[in-house]
Structure 1
Amino acid sequence: MPEENTPSDPGTFRMADPAMVSRTMADVAERSQRIVADFLKRQAQGDTAPGAAPGADPMQIGNAFMEMTTRLIANPARLVEAQLGFWQDYLTLWQNTARRMFGDAVDPVIAEDGKDRRFKDDAWRENEVFDFIRQSYLLSARYFTNIAHAADDLDPKTALKVDFYTRQFVDALSPSNFLMTNPEVLRKTAETGGENLLRGLQNLLSDLERGKGQLRIRMTDESKFRIGETIAVTPGKVVFQNDLMQLIQYAPATERVLRRPLLIVPPWINKFYILDLRPKNSFIRWAVEQGHTVFVISWVNPDEHLATKTFENYMTEGPYAALDAIRDATGETDINAVGYCLGGTLLACTLAHMAARQDERIRAATFFTTMLDFAEAGELSVFIDEEQLQAIENRMQKRGYLEGREMATTFNMLRANDLIWSFVVQNYLLGQEPFPFDLLFWNDDSTRMPAAMHSFYLRRMYQQNDLIKPGGITLAGTVLDLGKIKVPSYVLSTREDHIAPWKSTYRATQLLGGPVRFVLAASGHIAGVTNPPSSGKYSHWVAENNPPTPAEWFDASTELAGSWWPDWQRWISAQDSTMVAARVPHAGALEDAPGSYVKVMASD
């Protein structure tokens, strides 16, 4: 008998195990029926309704592209110019491909960005057919992008929306996303006899089951992580709690500590343990080792019972309540505070509120990737217009909260190739199981938003930009003015931030009334912040002064290798270097860190 083909034999195709195919298809039929029935039931109940009438366009995508088309028709020369350039490049690509087939060496007509991992497989360049497919796609992508940019005098928000959704369309059509045009997938299919596609179908069904009829892509092997066991393991105690938060005090790692405790206010859009993933990249553990008595707010994952909790409640039951609890735990009234992202916006509101009341308990403030001026909020502003806000509010009114997966989907769309399409290829086409990755586990551990709070935040901050207006926002009977904040501030931004663009966060240097040290870290919203000195990764920029514009600041800045963490430690220690005996969480603590609030999943 002839030897059975093996996956290592070139040009062979191994047949899938018939028993496996039979079992898989029977399982697919049963699970598919259940998923469809569940999805239809949820639609009938209105759970998946977008907050608008069927057939409506709450994102106003159609209107944006209609306006772009109208502008292009009014100036057809730009459109003709783009079309001629596209066809000329396409003709050159055809000619080059033909020459390659006859053995000639030719230069590519177009090349992808060096950071684009979609075409990392060598076959995309070595095989003439796939090289043509790749370059053809890149030319088309550039053409569509040029068309989107060609319309004159578009409203800036409309132009941003057109550009954003054009890229979503272009990214979705990448040949790497399809079986018959991805050489890596074709090779895997040949090697396994199609078993990769059967496994991929199982993965797809599992993700549909997780999303109860809507696709919820599994990004990592969640079974490898346990909050409090494998991640968020810095030792400490929950020393206080209320409806909105638990306050964690971490055990000291040094015999002497800085006199001022350190309060960290994380965002409630995500969970606090992004700052305590693993011991080697935990900012919390590192800060404890530097001699800080660290307290962290762990926000509740709210449900319909907290629907009426407001932004004001988050201030009074968050930082204000924490200040009282820290005094009870340590006897100290003066503290240093850190706010991350939305937590930084809340910290700024709290500081402005305290300034108006001559409350000086927070003596120094640190802001991680924090927006105070929302005039140029980056691509998130694509989702903030009146029609979309009404749709969001309609959904929240029905449930009392915004679903965590809806917010997660929005953030994933900002990096669709990395956080959506790469997993479509890996999970569904290649049939691979997701790799255990703590950051992606955290990213998928979404949180809900109380209706009243989230509506206030989106409208008053993003849509109306009231925070930068002296007296524009009133909380707990006190008008806010950021200019009255006189405490020293450390403002950290990250250069590749898609959520809080650094040129927008730089505006804090002009809004806050006290001395400000601005530092720019390399990388993005998460990786640029959670970058320990031991990693040896990334760099950061510093400057002595804060001129009016970010461009002027960057031109005068100095790039330094490695993490910004030591720079922050020098700055915070300079505010008050008084040392006292280490403080241990009191015996009457409620439970061990990381507490129970953080373990509540959005799906619970």
Structure 2
Amino acid sequence: MTNDTNTNTTPTLPTLEDWQHWTLVMGRAQQMMMEYWAEQMSRGQKMPDWSSPAFGFGAQPSGGANDPMALMSAGAQAWAKGLETWGKMMGGVVAAPPASDTPIRDRRFAAPEWQENPIFDTIRRSYLQISDQLLGQVEEVEGLDPDARQKLRFATRSFVDAMAPSNFAVTNPQVLKRTLETRGENLLKGLSNMLRDLAAGQLTQTKPGAFEVGRNLATTPGKVVKETPLYQLIQYTPTTDEVLRTPVVIFPPWINRFYILDLTPEKSFVKWCVDQGISLFMVSWKSADESIADAGLDDYVLNGQVDAIDTIRDLLDVESVHAIGYCVAGTTLAATLAYLQAKGQADKVKSATFFTAQVDFSEAGDLKLFLGDETMGLLQQLTAEKGYLDGRYMAATFNLLRGRDLIWSYVVNNYLMGDEPAPFDLLHWNSDTTNLPAAWHRNYLDTLYKGNKLAEKGGISVAGTPIDIGSVKTPSYIQAGREDHIAPPQSVWKVMDHFVGEKRFVLAGSGHIAGVVNPPSAGKYQYWINDEPAATLDAFVAGAKEHAGSWWPDWRAWLEKQDGAKVKATGARVPGKGKLKPIEDAPGSYVRAR
């Protein structure tokens, strides 16, 4: 790149060798595209229309597709037109704000070129200025109800995130630098990465092959001691001489793999619990296929949660269990508790713990934006043939909620820079999708998210029994994440408004995952406790005391207050030593099924 401060510098013309090299690069790129589509055609896919504007070749600049300079010029023109369009949307082109010495905290523009190079500095400042004005205008629009404003706010934020200059090769100085250094090899590698993801139908977020369930994830020793068409029950091997008499059973979300709570050993909630002297069981849900396509609420409550509770009670000869419900499994755990209450069997569960779970969806956050008629119709189309939903669609939805971090950062890293993403166990789990029974998934969204029927007395029934979460007297530990964008803390708080038993609310630092998976050894984040009565979340926060680190020890101490009795870790407390014989080693086969 020429020196921007020297206007008399004459650009160096490309040599014949340069043109031959870039022609080879573009030819290899086209070959890769053709090989990819040939493979897709062999699988019954249609060949794309290369002249379609969707592929960017509909209106070629002078020089054609083999001219890299023409393509870069077209990209720069497109960006300029984009800024002009943004300006017109606001009634006039807005000039970039003056330069500032304030440190850049936006990771997209962390490279020094974004401030040191006048061109990129202007592009950055113009983008941020226009983005702020667009987002600000959402709040100024009159006559919008809260739901409509939320939709507009989300759509605008998604638009400005997608249009960031860092997402385009010709306006990202790091990409341009890498392209010159590698002579285009980064773009070819990026194209290879993109074609790989297209074939898989999923964006790669962590280094392929870095992690494997049973090898370096979900390695806490245990046995599968029961298997049903819906779930496997894992019993973990004790590591202490004594354990709490009342066992703990974890119900993870059926929309994810259970090992979010059993990642690498140093992060594993499962291992930590076992080392804390807890008799621990885990439900591993089956990824949906045709065999459970008709599963519904009754199945996940009765054939899932209640069945697992009864199995553990019988195996260990105990009256009750402590139950944990994470996210959507916490929602169904609330239904289970209400059902047991209605049946006079509430004493089967000594206490309930809710990880970022919602029972009242009146303030459920941005996920409610994906419940329109178009979305529900698409779900119907996607699942009409097999009766279950491919988990990649749910993963894409969750990624959209944090598009800047979970989509566009990987587009830049993987496709433009041509790098492989760094190994990250949590993102490996995030990409390890689970299929969902279609009818139950639509019913969950329609009845609970949209209809908010669980919050109504008798709004839903389990096996013909109307339930009322307002009748639940089970002592409950309710954890929420302060930055949770999936189950916002104000929504999780509503459990406090419905349950009538003893309740302890804990607000953890971070979000839906890191707020839960925060081992004490990490020394990260914080949590807030308010032992005084609080009628609202705001009142709770106003009087709360901040504690450094993980909330796990607070939960362990609360659990022991519910029942501090201990027993020897022998006999049925050891997997396979009781009446249920081992089927296979943990983590089992259901978690590996695709």
2:542, 2:359 → 1: CA distance? 23
Task: Please tell me whether residue 290 in structure 1 is matched to residue 276 in structure 2.
Answer: yes
Correspondence for 1:173 among 163, 170, 179: 163
Q: Determine if contact 1:236/1:593 at 8 Å carries over to the other structure.
A: yes
CA distance, structure 2, for counterparts of residue 189 and residue 31 of structure 1 = 23
- 2-side partners of 1:413 and 1:23: how far apart? 32
Q: Which residue of 2 aligns with 1:541?
A: 528
Distance 2:544 2:462 in 1: 37
Gap runs ≥5 in structure 1: 1-10, 44-78, 97-105
Give me the whole-angstrom Cα distance separating, in 2, the residues matched to 1:435 and 1:479: 49
* Alignment partner, residue 588 of structure 2: 595
**Partner in structure 1 of residue 221 of structure 2:** 235
**What's the CA shift for 1:32?**
3.2
Deviations 1:353-396 (A, max 9, x none): 00111111101110000011100110000011344223323432
Contact 1:482 1:512 in 2 (8 A): yes
Which residue is equivalent to 2:361? 374
Match for 2:249: what amino acid? L
In the alignment, what sits opposite 2:37?
32
What SS is found at the alignment partner of 1:124? helix
Identity %: 45
Once residues 179 and 38 of structure 1 are traced to their aligned partners in structure 2, the CA distance between those partners, rounded to angstroms, is: 32
One-letter code aligned to 1:166: T
Counterparts of 2:100 and 2:514, CA distance in 1:
36
- Equivalent in 531, 539, 544 of residue 552 of structure 1: 539
Give the 3 Å change call, closer, same or farther, for CA 186–82 of structure 1 in structure 2: closer
SS in 2 for 1:121: coil
1:545-583 per-residue CA deviation (whole Å, 9 max, x = no partner) reads: 342211111001111111000111110011111000111
Range 145-154 or range 462-471, more displaced: 145-154
User: In the aligned structure 2, how far is the partner of 1:404 from the partner of 1:80?
Assistant: 39
Q: Which amino acid aligns with 1:234?
A: T
Give me the whole-angstrom Cα distance separating, in 1, the residues matched to 2:145 and 2:155.
Answer: 16
Helix, strand or coil at the partner of 2:477: strand
Shift of 1:33: 3.3
Structure 1 pair 397–91 and aligned structure 2 pair: CA distance change class (3 A): closer
What is the Cα deviation at residue 290 of structure 1?
0.6
Deviations 1:490-534 (A, max 9, x none): 000000001000011101111111011000000010001000000
The CA distance in 1 between the partners of 2:541 and 2:592, in whole Å, is 41
Q: Given the alignment, which residue of 437, 442, 450 partners 1:463?
A: 450
1:543 positional shift = 0.4
User: Does structure 2 retain, via aligned residues, the 8 Å contact 1:312–1:476?
Assistant: yes
Cα offset, 1:91, TM superposition = 3.8
What SS does the aligned partner of 1:365 have? strand
Aligned runs of 1:467-506 on 2, under 5 Å? Answer: 467-506=454-493
**Residue 290 and residue 395 in structure 1: after superposition, are their counterparts in 2 closer, same or farther (change >3 A)?**
same
**Which residue identity lines up with residue 34 of structure 1 in the other structure?**
E
Contact 2:289-2:435 within 8 A present in 1 as well: yes
What is aligned with 1:60? Answer: none
Cα contact 1:379–1:499 (8 A) shared by 2: yes
CA distance in 2, matches of 1:161, 1:237: 46
> Do the aligned partners of residues 23 and 145 (structure 1) sit closer, same or farther apart at CA in structure 2, a change above 3 Å counting?
closer
After TM superposition, the score normalised by the length of structure 1 is 0.84
- Deviation at residue 321 of structure 1 after TM alignment: 1.1
Shift of 1:333: 2.7
Is the Cα contact below 8 Å between 1:32 and 1:205 reproduced in 2? no
CA distance in 1, matches of 2:152, 2:90: 19
SS at match of 1:563: coil
Pairwise mapping of residues 523-534 of structure 1 onto structure 2 (< 5 A)? 523-534=510-521
* More displaced 10-residue stretch of structure 1: 446-455 or 279-288: 446-455
Judge conservation of contact 1:268–1:299 (CA < 8 Å) in 2: yes
Equivalent residue, structure 1, for 2:128: 138
- What whole-Å deviation, never above 9, does each CA across 1:130-165 have from its counterpart, x for those lacking one? 110001001111122123222212122222111111
**Residue 27 (structure 1) shift:** 3.8
Could you tell me how far apart the structure 2 residues matched to 1:327 and 1:559 are? Answer: 37
Q: Give the corresponding residue for 1:48.
A: none
Matches within 5 A, 1:558-569: 558-569=545-556
Post-superposition offset of 1:40: 3.8
Measured on the aligned residues, the alpha-carbon RMSD in Å equals 2.5
Is residue 96–residue 125 contact of structure 2 (8 Å, CA) maintained in 1? Answer: no
* Cα-to-partner distance string for 1:76-133 (whole Å, 9 max, x where unaligned): xxx999947x85xx4463xx4xxxxxxxxx536x986x3x311111111121111100
Aligned to 2:257: 271
Deviates more, 1:492-501 or 1:467-476: 467-476
**Quick one: distance in 2 between partners of 1:83 and 1:300?**
50
Partner of 2:173: 183
Q: Report the counterpart of residue 107 of structure 2 in structure 1.
A: 117
**Residue type of the alignment partner of 2:502:** P
CA distance in 2, matches of 1:303, 1:577: 42
Q: Contact between 2:96 and 2:122, CA under 8 Å: does it hold in 1?
A: no
Could you say which residue in structure 2 is the equivalent of 1:103? none
Q: Give the deviation of 1:278 after TM superposition.
A: 0.8
Instruction: State the shift of 1:469 in Å.
Output: 0.8
Paired AA for residue 599 in structure 1: R
In the alignment, what sits opposite 1:226? 212
Structure 2 Cα separation of the partners of residues 18 and 229 of structure 1: 44
Residue 372 of structure 1 aligns with an amino acid whose one-letter code is V
1:160 matched to 2:150? yes
* Alpha-carbon distance change, 373 to 39 in structure 1, aligned in 2, over 3 angstroms: farther
**Residues 373 and 508, structure 1, Cα contact 8 Å, conserved in 2:** yes
Mapped to 2, the partners of 1:150 and 1:496 lie a distance apart of: 25
Structure 2 runs not aligned, ≥5 long:
1-10, 49-85
- In structure 2, the CA distance between the partners of 1:197 and 1:39, relative to structure 1 (3 Å rule), is farther
For 1:152, the aligned partner's letter is E
Q: 2:231·2:590 contact (CA, 8 Å) conserved in 1?
A: yes
Task: Pick the aligned partner of 1:208 from 198, 213, 233.
Answer: 198
- Return the alpha-carbon distance in structure 1 between the equivalents of residues 348 and 95 of structure 2: 69
Question: 2:309: which partner in 1?
Answer: 323
Q: Does 1:245 align with 2:231?
A: yes
Counterparts in 2 of 1:78-157, with a 5 A limit? 83=90, 90-91=94-95, 93=97, 96=98, 106-107=99-100, 114=105, 116-157=106-147
Distance 1:107 1:441 in 2: 39
Counterpart of 2:131 in structure 1: which amino acid? A
Evaluate the alpha carbon distance shift between residue 18 and residue 175 of structure 1 in structure 2; reply closer, same or farther with a 3 A threshold: closer
In the alignment, what sits opposite 2:383?
Answer: 396
SS in 1 for 2:255: coil
Judge conservation of contact 1:523–1:538 (CA < 8 Å) in 2: yes
Q: Which runs of 4+ in 1 moved over 4 A?
A: 11-25, 36-39, 79-84
Matched residue of 1:373: which SS? coil
Deviations 1:307-347 (Å, cap 9, x if unpaired)? 21111111111111112221232122311111100111111
Cα distance change, pair 384–20 in 1 and its aligned pair in 2 (3 A): closer
- Aligned-partner Cα distance in 1 for 2:497–2:257: 30
Query: For the structure 1 residues 82 and 398, does the alpha-carbon distance in structure 2 shift closer, same or farther, using more than 3 Å as the test?
Result: closer
Give the length in aligned residue pairs: 535
Tell me what 1:46 maps to.
Answer: none
> CA separation in 2, counterparts of 1:33 and 1:243?
39
Give me the whole-angstrom Cα distance separating, in 1, the residues matched to 2:411 and 2:560. Answer: 47
For residue 107 of structure 2, give the secondary structure of its aligned residue in structure 1. Answer: coil
Q: Map 1:294-305 onto structure 2 (within 5 A).
A: 294-305=280-291
| Structure-2 change in CA distance of 1:117 and 1:39 (3 Å) | farther
Q: Say if 2:346 is the partner of 1:353.
A: no
The equivalent of 2:63 in structure 1 is none
Tell me if the contact between 1:491 and 1:517 (Cα under 8 Å) persists in the aligned partners. yes
The 2-side partners of 1:39 and 1:521 are apart by 49
Decide whether aligned partners of structure 1 residues 225 and 92 sit closer, same or farther in structure 2, where only a CA change above 3 A counts.
closer
> 2:72 matched to which residue of 1?
none
